[in-house]
Amino acid sequence: MAAALRLVDERGLDGVTVEAISEAVDVSPRTFFNYFATKDDAVLGGPLPTGPSMRERLLAVPAEVALVPALLEAMSADIREVQAERDFWLRRLRVIKNNPSLLPLLVARGECAEEETIAAVAARTGLPADSLFPHLVASLVGAAFRTAMMRWATSGDTDLHDLVREAFDVLAVGLAAPAPTHEEVSK
Amino acid sequence: MAAALRLVDERGLDGVTVEAISEAVDVSPRTFFNYFATKDDAVLGGPLPTGPSMRERLLAVPAEVALVPALLEAMSADIREVQAERDFWLRRLRVIKNNPSLLPLLVARGECAEEETIAAVAARTGLPADSLFPHLVASLVGAAFRTAMMRWATSGDTDLHDLVREAFDVLAVGLAAPAPTHEEVSK
DNA sequence: TAAAAGTTTGCACGTTGTGCAACTTCGCGT
DNA sequence: ACGCGAAGTTGCACAACGTGCAAACTTTTA
Protein backbone atom coordinates (compact mmCIF):
# COMPACT_ATOMS: atom_id res chain seq x y z
CA MET A 1 0.00 0.00 0.00
CA ALA A 2 2.71 2.45 0.93
CA ALA A 3 4.61 1.75 -2.26
CA ALA A 4 1.48 2.07 -4.36
CA LEU A 5 0.56 5.34 -2.75
CA ARG A 6 4.04 6.75 -3.18
CA LEU A 7 4.36 5.75 -6.81
CA VAL A 8 0.94 7.03 -7.78
CA ASP A 9 1.70 10.27 -5.98
CA GLU A 10 4.85 10.65 -8.04
CA ARG A 11 3.72 9.49 -11.47
CA GLY A 12 -0.07 9.63 -11.47
CA LEU A 13 -2.48 6.72 -11.46
CA ASP A 14 -2.09 5.91 -15.14
CA GLY A 15 1.65 6.28 -15.02
CA VAL A 16 1.96 3.36 -12.65
CA THR A 17 1.32 -0.23 -13.62
CA VAL A 18 0.63 -3.09 -11.29
CA GLU A 19 3.91 -4.52 -12.49
CA ALA A 20 5.74 -1.42 -11.31
CA ILE A 21 4.17 -1.58 -7.89
CA SER A 22 4.87 -5.26 -7.38
CA GLU A 23 8.41 -4.77 -8.62
CA ALA A 24 8.94 -2.00 -6.09
CA VAL A 25 8.21 -4.41 -3.29
CA ASP A 26 9.88 -7.44 -4.89
CA VAL A 27 6.79 -9.48 -5.50
CA SER A 28 5.28 -11.00 -8.58
CA PRO A 29 2.28 -9.25 -10.12
CA ARG A 30 0.28 -12.38 -9.43
CA THR A 31 0.94 -12.00 -5.73
CA PHE A 32 -0.20 -8.41 -5.92
CA PHE A 33 -3.62 -9.61 -6.97
CA ASN A 34 -3.68 -12.09 -4.13
CA TYR A 35 -3.84 -9.13 -1.77
CA PHE A 36 -5.67 -6.46 -3.76
CA ALA A 37 -8.59 -7.02 -6.04
CA THR A 38 -7.75 -3.98 -8.12
CA LYS A 39 -4.97 -1.45 -8.52
CA ASP A 40 -7.15 1.19 -6.90
CA ASP A 41 -7.52 -0.99 -3.84
CA ALA A 42 -3.81 -0.91 -3.32
CA VAL A 43 -3.79 2.87 -3.34
CA LEU A 44 -6.78 3.54 -1.14
CA GLY A 45 -7.34 0.15 0.26
CA GLY A 46 -6.21 -1.89 3.12
CA PRO A 47 -8.53 -3.35 5.68
CA LEU A 48 -11.15 -1.05 7.09
CA PRO A 49 -10.26 0.65 10.34
CA THR A 50 -11.49 -1.54 13.11
CA GLY A 51 -12.65 -0.58 16.57
CA PRO A 52 -15.95 -0.04 18.28
CA SER A 53 -18.63 0.33 15.66
CA MET A 54 -20.23 3.63 14.82
CA ARG A 55 -23.42 2.23 16.22
CA GLU A 56 -21.97 1.57 19.64
CA ARG A 57 -20.11 4.84 19.74
CA LEU A 58 -23.16 6.87 18.87
CA LEU A 59 -25.34 5.13 21.38
CA ALA A 60 -22.68 5.70 24.02
CA VAL A 61 -23.27 9.44 23.79
CA PRO A 62 -25.79 10.62 26.41
CA ALA A 63 -29.28 10.86 25.02
CA GLU A 64 -29.72 14.51 25.96
CA VAL A 65 -27.02 15.57 23.54
CA ALA A 66 -28.49 16.78 20.26
CA LEU A 67 -28.03 14.62 17.20
CA VAL A 68 -25.37 16.60 15.36
CA PRO A 69 -23.04 17.10 18.32
CA ALA A 70 -23.55 13.46 19.19
CA LEU A 71 -22.45 12.43 15.72
CA LEU A 72 -19.42 14.67 15.99
CA GLU A 73 -18.55 13.06 19.28
CA ALA A 74 -18.97 9.61 17.80
CA MET A 75 -16.62 10.43 14.95
CA SER A 76 -13.94 12.06 17.02
CA ALA A 77 -12.03 8.82 17.36
CA ASP A 78 -11.72 8.56 13.59
CA ILE A 79 -10.74 12.19 13.37
CA ARG A 80 -7.98 11.72 15.89
CA GLU A 81 -6.77 8.69 14.01
CA VAL A 82 -6.58 10.60 10.76
CA GLN A 83 -4.68 13.39 12.41
CA ALA A 84 -2.32 10.95 14.04
CA GLU A 85 -1.24 9.81 10.60
CA ARG A 86 -1.29 13.30 9.19
CA ASP A 87 1.39 12.88 6.52
CA PHE A 88 -0.08 9.65 5.27
CA TRP A 89 -3.53 11.14 4.93
CA LEU A 90 -2.33 14.36 3.34
CA ARG A 91 -0.56 12.35 0.69
CA ARG A 92 -3.56 10.11 0.23
CA LEU A 93 -5.93 13.05 -0.15
CA ARG A 94 -3.55 14.77 -2.53
CA VAL A 95 -3.50 11.64 -4.63
CA ILE A 96 -7.28 11.56 -4.67
CA LYS A 97 -7.43 15.18 -5.70
CA ASN A 98 -5.01 14.53 -8.54
CA ASN A 99 -6.76 11.33 -9.62
CA PRO A 100 -10.47 12.01 -9.32
CA SER A 101 -11.31 8.52 -10.49
CA LEU A 102 -10.28 7.41 -7.02
CA LEU A 103 -12.76 9.62 -5.21
CA PRO A 104 -15.59 7.21 -5.87
CA LEU A 105 -13.65 4.55 -4.04
CA LEU A 106 -13.24 6.81 -1.06
CA VAL A 107 -16.97 7.32 -1.07
CA ALA A 108 -17.53 3.60 -1.31
CA ARG A 109 -15.35 3.03 1.70
CA GLY A 110 -17.36 5.56 3.60
CA GLU A 111 -20.46 3.67 2.68
CA CYS A 112 -19.90 0.81 5.05
CA ALA A 113 -19.60 3.41 7.76
CA GLU A 114 -22.78 4.87 6.35
CA GLU A 115 -24.61 1.60 6.86
CA GLU A 116 -23.68 1.74 10.50
CA THR A 117 -24.62 5.36 10.80
CA ILE A 118 -28.05 4.62 9.42
CA ALA A 119 -28.62 1.95 12.03
CA ALA A 120 -27.24 4.13 14.77
CA VAL A 121 -29.38 7.13 13.89
CA ALA A 122 -32.44 4.94 13.61
CA ALA A 123 -31.78 3.47 17.02
CA ARG A 124 -31.17 6.86 18.57
CA THR A 125 -34.28 8.49 17.18
CA GLY A 126 -36.59 5.51 17.41
CA LEU A 127 -37.39 5.77 13.73
CA PRO A 128 -37.50 2.68 11.51
CA ALA A 129 -34.18 2.02 9.82
CA ASP A 130 -35.73 2.14 6.38
CA SER A 131 -37.31 5.56 6.74
CA LEU A 132 -35.88 8.58 5.01
CA PHE A 133 -34.40 10.40 7.95
CA PRO A 134 -31.63 8.00 8.99
CA HIS A 135 -30.51 7.49 5.41
CA LEU A 136 -30.48 11.20 4.85
CA VAL A 137 -28.55 12.00 8.00
CA ALA A 138 -25.97 9.36 7.24
CA SER A 139 -25.31 10.60 3.74
CA LEU A 140 -25.22 14.21 4.89
CA VAL A 141 -22.78 13.46 7.66
CA GLY A 142 -20.60 11.57 5.22
CA ALA A 143 -20.66 14.44 2.77
CA ALA A 144 -19.85 16.99 5.45
CA PHE A 145 -17.01 14.88 6.74
CA ARG A 146 -15.52 14.39 3.29
CA THR A 147 -15.77 18.07 2.52
CA ALA A 148 -14.00 18.95 5.75
CA MET A 149 -11.29 16.39 5.02
CA MET A 150 -10.69 17.70 1.54
CA ARG A 151 -10.48 21.22 2.84
CA TRP A 152 -8.09 20.13 5.56
CA ALA A 153 -5.91 18.46 2.97
CA THR A 154 -5.60 21.45 0.70
CA SER A 155 -6.02 24.42 2.94
CA GLY A 156 -2.90 24.21 5.02
CA ASP A 157 -2.48 23.18 8.56
CA THR A 158 -5.76 23.86 10.31
CA ASP A 159 -6.97 21.41 12.89
CA LEU A 160 -9.15 18.75 11.29
CA HIS A 161 -11.40 18.48 14.29
CA ASP A 162 -12.16 22.20 14.13
CA LEU A 163 -13.01 21.98 10.46
CA VAL A 164 -15.35 19.07 10.99
CA ARG A 165 -16.96 20.88 13.88
CA GLU A 166 -17.43 23.94 11.68
CA ALA A 167 -19.04 21.83 8.99
CA PHE A 168 -21.31 20.11 11.50
CA ASP A 169 -22.29 23.48 12.96
CA VAL A 170 -23.48 24.54 9.53
CA LEU A 171 -25.50 21.34 9.36
CA ALA A 172 -26.97 21.96 12.79
CA VAL A 173 -28.17 25.47 12.04
CA GLY A 174 -29.85 24.57 8.78
CA LEU A 175 -27.29 25.86 6.33
CA ALA A 176 -27.36 29.41 7.55
CA ALA A 177 -24.59 31.32 5.84
CA PRO A 178 -21.86 32.54 8.14
CA ALA A 179 -21.24 36.26 8.23
CA PRO A 180 -18.77 37.36 5.56
CA THR A 181 -15.33 36.80 6.94
CA HIS A 182 -13.67 39.92 8.25
CA GLU A 183 -16.87 41.29 9.68
CA GLU A 184 -16.91 41.79 13.43
CA VAL A 185 -19.66 40.09 15.33
CA SER A 186 -21.19 43.07 17.08
CA LYS A 187 -23.25 42.17 20.06
CA MET B 1 -27.04 3.61 -24.06
CA ALA B 2 -30.50 2.12 -24.04
CA ALA B 3 -29.19 -1.27 -25.08
CA ALA B 4 -26.43 -1.14 -22.49
CA LEU B 5 -28.85 -0.19 -19.76
CA ARG B 6 -31.28 -2.92 -20.71
CA LEU B 7 -28.68 -5.64 -20.93
CA VAL B 8 -27.01 -4.73 -17.66
CA ASP B 9 -30.40 -4.62 -16.01
CA GLU B 10 -31.08 -8.14 -17.21
CA ARG B 11 -27.74 -9.84 -16.72
CA GLY B 12 -25.78 -7.66 -14.31
CA LEU B 13 -22.78 -5.52 -15.07
CA ASP B 14 -20.28 -8.37 -15.17
CA GLY B 15 -22.59 -10.54 -17.18
CA VAL B 16 -22.46 -8.15 -20.10
CA THR B 17 -19.40 -7.60 -22.23
CA VAL B 18 -18.76 -4.67 -24.48
CA GLU B 19 -18.95 -7.12 -27.33
CA ALA B 20 -22.48 -8.08 -26.33
CA ILE B 21 -23.60 -4.48 -26.19
CA SER B 22 -22.10 -3.56 -29.54
CA GLU B 23 -23.56 -6.70 -31.07
CA ALA B 24 -27.00 -5.77 -29.78
CA VAL B 25 -26.87 -2.57 -31.77
CA ASP B 26 -25.00 -3.99 -34.75
CA VAL B 27 -21.78 -2.14 -34.33
CA SER B 28 -18.21 -3.26 -33.90
CA PRO B 29 -16.71 -3.13 -30.42
CA ARG B 30 -14.21 -0.64 -31.74
CA THR B 31 -17.00 1.73 -32.63
CA PHE B 32 -18.40 1.34 -29.15
CA PHE B 33 -15.24 2.84 -27.77
CA ASN B 34 -15.46 5.69 -30.23
CA TYR B 35 -18.54 6.83 -28.35
CA PHE B 36 -17.95 5.69 -24.78
CA ALA B 37 -14.66 5.80 -22.93
CA THR B 38 -15.66 2.92 -20.71
CA LYS B 39 -18.38 0.33 -20.39
CA ASP B 40 -19.75 2.16 -17.39
CA ASP B 41 -20.12 5.31 -19.44
CA ALA B 42 -22.48 3.52 -21.76
CA VAL B 43 -24.69 2.54 -18.87
CA LEU B 44 -24.80 5.81 -16.97
CA GLY B 45 -23.37 8.06 -19.55
CA GLY B 46 -24.51 10.17 -22.35
CA PRO B 47 -23.96 13.87 -22.58
CA LEU B 48 -24.77 15.88 -19.51
CA PRO B 49 -28.21 17.45 -19.43
CA THR B 50 -27.92 20.88 -20.88
CA GLY B 51 -29.97 23.95 -20.13
CA PRO B 52 -29.58 27.08 -18.07
CA SER B 53 -26.74 26.55 -15.65
CA MET B 54 -27.31 25.97 -11.98
CA ARG B 55 -25.63 29.27 -11.36
CA GLU B 56 -28.10 31.23 -13.43
CA ARG B 57 -31.07 29.36 -12.09
CA LEU B 58 -30.09 29.94 -8.49
CA LEU B 59 -29.42 33.61 -9.00
CA ALA B 60 -32.79 33.93 -10.70
CA VAL B 61 -34.52 33.10 -7.43
CA PRO B 62 -35.45 36.28 -5.51
CA ALA B 63 -32.84 37.19 -2.92
CA GLU B 64 -35.29 37.22 -0.05
CA VAL B 65 -35.90 33.48 -0.39
CA ALA B 66 -33.83 31.52 2.09
CA LEU B 67 -30.94 29.46 0.76
CA VAL B 68 -32.42 25.98 1.03
CA PRO B 69 -35.77 26.75 -0.60
CA ALA B 70 -33.91 28.68 -3.27
CA LEU B 71 -31.79 25.64 -4.02
CA LEU B 72 -34.89 23.50 -4.20
CA GLU B 73 -36.43 25.94 -6.61
CA ALA B 74 -33.29 25.95 -8.73
CA MET B 75 -33.30 22.17 -8.95
CA SER B 76 -36.96 21.77 -9.75
CA ALA B 77 -36.30 21.75 -13.47
CA ASP B 78 -34.02 18.75 -13.09
CA ILE B 79 -36.54 17.06 -10.86
CA ARG B 80 -39.28 17.52 -13.40
CA GLU B 81 -37.02 16.14 -16.10
CA VAL B 82 -36.27 13.03 -14.09
CA GLN B 83 -39.93 12.47 -13.44
CA ALA B 84 -40.76 13.00 -17.07
CA GLU B 85 -38.59 10.00 -17.91
CA ARG B 86 -39.75 8.05 -14.93
CA ASP B 87 -39.31 4.54 -16.34
CA PHE B 88 -35.88 5.26 -17.67
CA TRP B 89 -34.68 6.63 -14.35
CA LEU B 90 -36.25 3.87 -12.31
CA ARG B 91 -34.42 1.32 -14.39
CA ARG B 92 -31.22 3.29 -14.19
CA LEU B 93 -31.43 3.61 -10.42
CA ARG B 94 -32.28 -0.05 -10.05
CA VAL B 95 -29.21 -0.90 -12.06
CA ILE B 96 -27.11 1.31 -9.84
CA LYS B 97 -28.52 -0.32 -6.75
CA ASN B 98 -27.74 -3.77 -8.12
CA ASN B 99 -24.26 -2.78 -9.29
CA PRO B 100 -22.85 -0.55 -6.59
CA SER B 101 -19.65 -0.06 -8.52
CA LEU B 102 -21.65 2.31 -10.70
CA LEU B 103 -22.69 4.58 -7.87
CA PRO B 104 -19.36 6.34 -7.84
CA LEU B 105 -19.94 7.31 -11.43
CA LEU B 106 -23.29 8.79 -10.58
CA VAL B 107 -21.58 10.83 -7.91
CA ALA B 108 -18.95 11.93 -10.38
CA ARG B 109 -21.61 13.12 -12.77
CA GLY B 110 -23.17 15.12 -9.99
CA GLU B 111 -19.83 16.71 -9.39
CA CYS B 112 -19.92 18.97 -12.40
CA ALA B 113 -23.24 20.23 -11.12
CA GLU B 114 -21.51 20.59 -7.78
CA GLU B 115 -18.94 22.93 -9.29
CA GLU B 116 -21.73 25.14 -10.46
CA THR B 117 -23.52 24.99 -7.17
CA ILE B 118 -20.39 26.11 -5.38
CA ALA B 119 -20.11 29.15 -7.60
CA ALA B 120 -23.79 29.88 -7.31
CA VAL B 121 -23.86 29.67 -3.53
CA ALA B 122 -20.75 31.81 -3.29
CA ALA B 123 -22.33 34.43 -5.50
CA ARG B 124 -25.57 34.38 -3.57
CA THR B 125 -23.99 34.70 -0.15
CA GLY B 126 -21.14 37.00 -1.09
CA LEU B 127 -18.63 34.56 0.32
CA PRO B 128 -15.41 33.74 -1.54
CA ALA B 129 -15.81 30.68 -3.74
CA ASP B 130 -12.95 28.89 -2.02
CA SER B 131 -14.30 29.19 1.48
CA LEU B 132 -15.77 26.22 3.28
CA PHE B 133 -19.44 27.17 3.21
CA PRO B 134 -20.17 26.97 -0.53
CA HIS B 135 -18.30 23.69 -0.90
CA LEU B 136 -20.13 22.28 2.05
CA VAL B 137 -23.55 23.37 0.88
CA ALA B 138 -22.96 21.97 -2.58
CA SER B 139 -21.90 18.57 -1.32
CA LEU B 140 -24.76 18.46 1.17
CA VAL B 141 -27.32 19.37 -1.45
CA GLY B 142 -25.93 16.71 -3.74
CA ALA B 143 -26.07 14.11 -1.00
CA ALA B 144 -29.63 15.03 -0.05
CA PHE B 145 -30.71 14.91 -3.67
CA ARG B 146 -29.13 11.52 -4.27
CA THR B 147 -30.67 10.11 -1.13
CA ALA B 148 -34.10 11.33 -2.17
CA MET B 149 -33.63 9.86 -5.65
CA MET B 150 -32.60 6.49 -4.30
CA ARG B 151 -35.55 6.45 -1.97
CA TRP B 152 -37.87 7.43 -4.81
CA ALA B 153 -36.52 4.60 -6.90
CA THR B 154 -37.03 1.90 -4.31
CA SER B 155 -39.87 3.07 -2.22
CA GLY B 156 -42.73 2.95 -4.67
CA ASP B 157 -44.51 5.70 -6.42
CA THR B 158 -44.18 8.79 -4.28
CA ASP B 159 -43.66 12.09 -5.97
CA LEU B 160 -39.96 12.83 -6.37
CA HIS B 161 -40.41 16.51 -5.80
CA ASP B 162 -42.08 15.86 -2.45
CA LEU B 163 -39.27 13.59 -1.39
CA VAL B 164 -36.62 16.13 -2.31
CA ARG B 165 -38.57 18.81 -0.50
CA GLU B 166 -38.77 16.60 2.56
CA ALA B 167 -35.03 16.03 2.45
CA PHE B 168 -34.33 19.72 2.02
CA ASP B 169 -36.62 20.52 4.92
CA VAL B 170 -34.54 18.29 7.14
CA LEU B 171 -31.49 20.18 5.93
CA ALA B 172 -33.13 23.50 6.63
CA VAL B 173 -34.07 22.72 10.21
CA GLY B 174 -30.66 21.42 11.20
CA LEU B 175 -31.30 17.70 11.11
CA ALA B 176 -34.09 17.73 13.64
CA ALA B 177 -35.67 14.31 13.75
CA PRO B 178 -39.26 14.16 12.58
CA ALA B 179 -41.84 12.89 15.00
CA PRO B 180 -42.23 9.10 14.89
CA THR B 181 -44.55 8.25 12.08
CA HIS B 182 -48.12 7.50 13.10
CA GLU B 183 -48.17 10.21 15.69
CA GLU B 184 -50.82 12.85 15.15
CA VAL B 185 -49.61 16.40 14.95
CA SER B 186 -51.76 18.00 17.64
CA LYS B 187 -52.07 21.70 17.34
C1' DT C 1 13.28 -35.65 8.72
C1' DA C 2 8.91 -35.83 6.62
C1' DA C 3 4.27 -34.59 6.12
C1' DA C 4 1.03 -30.73 6.31
C1' DA C 5 -0.27 -26.18 5.73
C1' DG C 6 0.26 -21.80 3.83
C1' DT C 7 2.40 -18.53 0.31
C1' DT C 8 4.29 -17.26 -3.82
C1' DT C 9 4.64 -17.79 -8.55
C1' DG C 10 4.05 -18.90 -13.65
C1' DC C 11 0.92 -19.65 -17.24
C1' DA C 12 -3.08 -19.26 -19.91
C1' DC C 13 -6.99 -16.86 -20.68
C1' DG C 14 -10.79 -13.34 -21.18
C1' DT C 15 -11.87 -8.44 -20.91
C1' DT C 16 -11.15 -3.49 -21.11
C1' DG C 17 -9.33 0.34 -23.50
C1' DT C 18 -6.18 2.88 -27.16
C1' DG C 19 -3.53 4.22 -31.40
C1' DC C 20 -3.25 3.73 -36.15
C1' DA C 21 -4.31 2.95 -40.70
C1' DA C 22 -7.50 1.20 -44.03
C1' DC C 23 -12.08 1.11 -45.59
C1' DT C 24 -16.81 2.49 -46.40
C1' DT C 25 -20.41 5.98 -46.90
C1' DC C 26 -22.28 10.06 -48.08
C1' DG C 27 -22.87 14.70 -49.76
C1' DC C 28 -21.35 18.05 -53.01
C1' DG C 29 -19.67 20.66 -56.88
C1' DT C 30 -18.65 20.33 -61.65
C1' DA D 1 -22.12 10.57 -63.74
C1' DC D 2 -17.75 11.38 -61.85
C1' DG D 3 -14.46 12.34 -58.55
C1' DC D 4 -13.43 14.54 -54.23
C1' DG D 5 -13.19 15.18 -49.39
C1' DA D 6 -15.25 14.78 -44.85
C1' DA D 7 -17.04 11.89 -41.51
C1' DG D 8 -17.90 7.70 -39.59
C1' DT D 9 -16.75 2.66 -39.13
C1' DT D 10 -13.86 -1.17 -38.75
C1' DG D 11 -9.80 -4.43 -38.13
C1' DC D 12 -5.50 -5.14 -36.09
C1' DA D 13 -2.02 -4.94 -32.86
C1' DC D 14 -1.03 -3.96 -28.41
C1' DA D 15 -0.76 -2.79 -23.28
C1' DA D 16 -2.91 -3.38 -18.99
C1' DC D 17 -6.21 -5.36 -15.72
C1' DG D 18 -7.99 -9.29 -13.37
C1' DT D 19 -8.86 -14.55 -12.47
C1' DG D 20 -8.47 -19.70 -12.21
C1' DC D 21 -5.45 -23.36 -11.80
C1' DA D 22 -1.69 -26.02 -10.63
C1' DA D 23 3.24 -26.24 -9.69
C1' DA D 24 6.96 -24.70 -6.69
C1' DC D 25 8.52 -22.94 -2.60
C1' DT D 26 8.56 -21.90 2.50
C1' DT D 27 7.19 -22.44 7.05
C1' DT D 28 5.18 -24.96 10.66
C1' DT D 29 4.31 -29.06 13.13
C1' DA D 30 4.85 -33.71 14.43
Q: What is the pLDDT of residue B183?
A: 47
pLDDT band at A111 (very low <50, low <70, confident <90, very high): confident
Q: Which residues contact B107 (CB under 8 A, 6 or more apart)?
A: A103, A104, A107, B142, B146
The answer to whether B89 touches B49, Cβ cutoff 8 Å, is no
| Residues A83, A160 contacting (CB under 8 angstroms) | yes
Low-confidence winner among A16-20, A116-120, B52-56, B160-164 (lowest mean pLDDT)? B52-56
- Cβ(B90)–Cβ(B8) below 8 Å: no
pLDDT recorded at residue A181: 54
pLDDT digits (tens, 9 = 90+) for B142-187: 999 999 999 999 887 789 999 999 999 999 999 998 876 544 444 3
Which of A143, A174, A177 has its CB closest to that of B127? A177
Q: How far is A177 from chain B (nearest CA, A)?
A: 7
Average of per-residue pLDDT across B98-113: 83
Q: What angle do CA A11, B111, A17 make, to 5 degrees?
A: 20
Best mutation target among B107, B137, B140 (most A Cβ atoms within 10 Å) is B140
The CA distance from A87 to B26, in Å, is 52
- Nearest by CB: B136 against A132, A170, A174: A170
Mean predicted lDDT score pLDDT of chain A: 90
Q: Write the DSSP symbol of residue A187.
A: -
Q: Given a cut of 60, is residue A186 above it in pLDDT?
A: no
Q: Tell me the fold of B2-44.
A: Arc Repressor Mutant, subunit A (1.10.10)
Q: Hey, what CATH topology would domain A54-172 get?
A: Tetracycline Repressor; domain 2 (1.10.357)
With an 8 Å Cβ cutoff, are B67 and A177 in contact? yes
Query: Which residues, 6+ apart, have CB-to-CB distance to B133 below 8 Å?
Result: A170, A177, A178, B121, B125, B127
- List, in sequence order, the alpha helices (H) in chain A: 2-11, 18-24, 29-35, 39-44, 54-60, 67-84, 86-98, 103-125, 132-154, 160-172
Q: What pLDDT, on a 0 to 100 scale, did the predictor assign at position B71?
A: 96
Q: A2-44 with A54-172: one CATH topology?
A: no
pLDDT tens digits along A119-150: 999 999 999 999 999 999 999 999 999 999 99
Give the number of other CB atoms < 10 A from CB of residue B57.
20
Residues 51-90 in A having a C-beta less than 7 A from any atom of strand D are none
Distance from the Cα of residue B74 to its chain's centroid: 14
Nearest to B71 by CA among B185, B172, B158: B172
**What's the pLDDT band for B50 if we cut at 50, 70, 90?**
low
Give Cα separations from B57 to A57, A168, A179 (angstroms).
42, 27, 24
Quick one: pLDDT band at residue A185, thresholds 50, 70, 90? Answer: very low
Closest C-alpha among B128, B40, B49 to residue B81: B49
Q: What is the pLDDT of residue B53?
A: 82
Q: How confident is the model at residue B107 (pLDDT cuts 50, 70, 90)?
A: confident
Query: Which sign, positive or negative, has the C-alpha torsion B100, B102, B105, B109?
Result: negative
Helix axes A103-125, B103-125, angle to 10 degrees: 80
Average pLDDT, chain B: 89
Residues 16-75 of A with CB under 8 A from B: 67-68
Q: Do A104 and B100 touch (CB under 8 A)?
A: no
Residue A45 near residue A110 (C-beta atoms within 8 A): no
Residue B49 in contact with residue B57, Cβ under 8 Å?
no
* B58 and B77 Cβ atoms separated by less than 8 Å: no
| Phi, psi (degrees; rounded to nearest 5) at A48 | -70, 145
A8 touches strand D (CB under 7 A): no
Q: For residues A144 and B175, what is the distance between their CA atoms, to the nearest angstrom? A: 13
Q: Which nucleotide is nearest to B33 (CA to C1')?
A: C17
Report the distance from CA of residue A18 to the C1' of nucleotide D19 in Å, as an integer: 15
Q: Which of B104, B166, B173 sits opposite A107 (nearest CB)?
A: B104
Q: Domain residues of chain B, as ranges?
A: 2-44, 54-172
Quote the pLDDT of residue A118: 94
Q: Does residue A95 carry a pLDDT above 60?
A: yes
With a cut of 70, say whether residue A48 has pLDDT above it. no
From chain B residues 95-124, the ones with a CB under 8 A of any chain A CB are 100, 103-105, 107-108, 111
Lookup: nucleotide whose C1' is closest to B14 CA: C15
Cross-chain Cβ contact B104/A100 below 8 Å? no
Q: What is the largest CA-CA distance in chain A?
A: 67
